[in-house]
Amino acid sequence: MLVFVVGAFAEMPEDVSRICDIIAHDLARTHVSYYNDDAKRTKGMYRQRIQKAWGHTAHRGASYYPQIYFPISLD
């Protein structure tokens, strides 16, 4: 079982990397079936796009909801 989790500082565990790899592999396989591109380079391109999108989303979430991630106690 692979779990998609984002930490308080937008960090992600190794499972997220594996999920990204599975998705990129499938997208590359579909792409290569239509176009005559190198499978390894195409997979790398999709991995980069996915990681960039997920990273930006994680950082936006951490900055948008700071009270959830960084609770402050006044006691």
Say if 64 falls within a structural domain.
Answer: yes
> Is residue 59 one of the residues assigned to a domain?
yes
- Residue whose token pair is 């079982």: 1
pLDDT at residue 69 above 80?
no
62, 28 contact by CB (below 8 A): no
Q: What confidence tens digit (pLDDT) does each residue in 12-51 have?
A: 878 888 889 999 999 999 999 999 889 999 999 999 999 9
In a domain, 3, yes or no: no
Is residue 7 domain-resident? Answer: no
Query: Domain for residue 51, yes or no?
Result: yes
Note whether residue 8 is domain-resident: no
pTM (whole model) above 0.85 = no
Q: Is residue 26 part of a domain?
A: yes
Provide the domain count of the chain.
1
Domain containing residue 54 = 14-69
CA dihedral 54→55→56→61, nearest 10 degrees, is 90
